[in-house]
Amino acid sequence: MRQIVMAITGASGACYGRRLAQAITGADAHLHLIISPAGRRVLADELGLNECTVPALLGRAAEATLYAHDDIGARIASGSFPTDGMVICPCSGNTLAGVAGGLGNNLVTRAALVTLKEARRLVLVPREMPLSRIDLANMERAAQAGAVVCPASPGFYLRPRTIDDLVDFVVGRVLDLLGVRHELNTRWDPERPAAGAPPTA
């Protein structure tokens, strides 16, 4: 079973975090989940999720472990615990700055820095807009350290019809970066008409 670390932090885009967590646990992977205090507030504000438990977030029981944000002694804070990568989704500007600056003062940034030092895949999913020069510099520093910066920017070539379609596009791209199999409709196929495409003559 693959071991995937995931953090939800305090940027708008809680729907991306929930859908990604659902997809990871639905792919025969164990999810190691951290939710920052600001992430908990965004989950409540955007999804009405006032109870941050695994069943409440995923809508079902799943192969997942939820860690306290300040538990820097957790096993995922050590490089001796083997994982298959980590994703921060959504990734707030504050968390991005912490990772770029090497600040392991909470479990989210500590686990991210461990992922980098062990040369494992770290995916950061920022959703903020517009971006300041500070944000851009932090993205560059994180990328130079080995992280993959994957902004939550859905494509439209599959002609999405719903918000869920847009969310799934981003989630599918993140799963690809983590090497997690999925059946989400995110692949370009020039032979297949996009959803809502008019029939050809």
With respect to residue 157, please indicate whether it lies within any of the assigned structural domains.
Answer: yes
Q: Does 8 score more than 90 pLDDT? A: yes
Interatomic CA distance for residues 67 and 85, integer angstroms: 16
Query: What is the pLDDT at residue 200?
Result: 52
pLDDT at 193: 59
Q: How far apart are CA 25 and CA 72, in angstroms?
A: 24
* Predicted pLDDT of residue 196: 54
Q: Which domain CATH number covers 20?
A: 3.40.50.1950
Task: Quote the pLDDT of residue 46.
Answer: 96
64: left (phi over 0), alpha (psi -120 to 50) or beta: beta
Residue with the bigger pLDDT between 161 and 198: it is 161
- What confidence score (pLDDT) does residue 195 get? 56
- Residue 28 backbone phi and psi in degrees, to 5: 55, 45
Greater pLDDT, 189 or 116: 116
In a domain, 161, yes or no: yes
Cα separation, 179 vs 51, in Å, equals: 30
Answer yes or no: is 114 within a domain.
Answer: yes
pLDDT of residue 194: 54
What whole-number distance in Å separates Cα of residue 76 and Cα of residue 112? Answer: 9
pLDDT tens digits for 124-139? 999 999 999 999 999 9
Quote the pLDDT of residue 31. Answer: 97
Mean pLDDT of the chain: 93
Residue 199 lies in a domain: no
Please give the residue range of the domain that contains residue 96.
Answer: 2-178
CB 9 within 8 A of CB 94: yes
Task: Specify the pLDDT at position 188.
Answer: 80
Report yes or no on 195 lying in a domain: no
Share of the chain above pLDDT 70, in %: 95
Domain assignment of residue 16, yes or no: yes
For residue 50 the two structure tokens come to 């006032």
Q: Which residues neighbour 49 within 8 Å (Cβ) at sequence distance 6 or greater? A: 14, 18, 43, 56, 57
* 198 within some domain: no
User: Does 117 map to a domain?
Assistant: yes
Mean pLDDT of 2-12: 97
Tokens of 113: 């820095």
- pLDDT confidence of residue 126: 97
Amino acid 20: pLDDT? 97
Q: pLDDT of 17-67, one tens digit each?
A: 999 999 999 998 999 999 999 999 999 999 999 888 999 999 888 889 999
Of 154, 167, 88, the residue nearest 121 (C-alpha): 88
Burial (0-12, 13-18, 19+ Cβ within 10 Å), 55: exposed
The count of structural domains within the chain is 1
- Rounded to whole angstroms, the Cα distance separating 180 from 186 reads 14
Say which amino acid occupies 167.
V
What tokens does 62 get?
């799943």
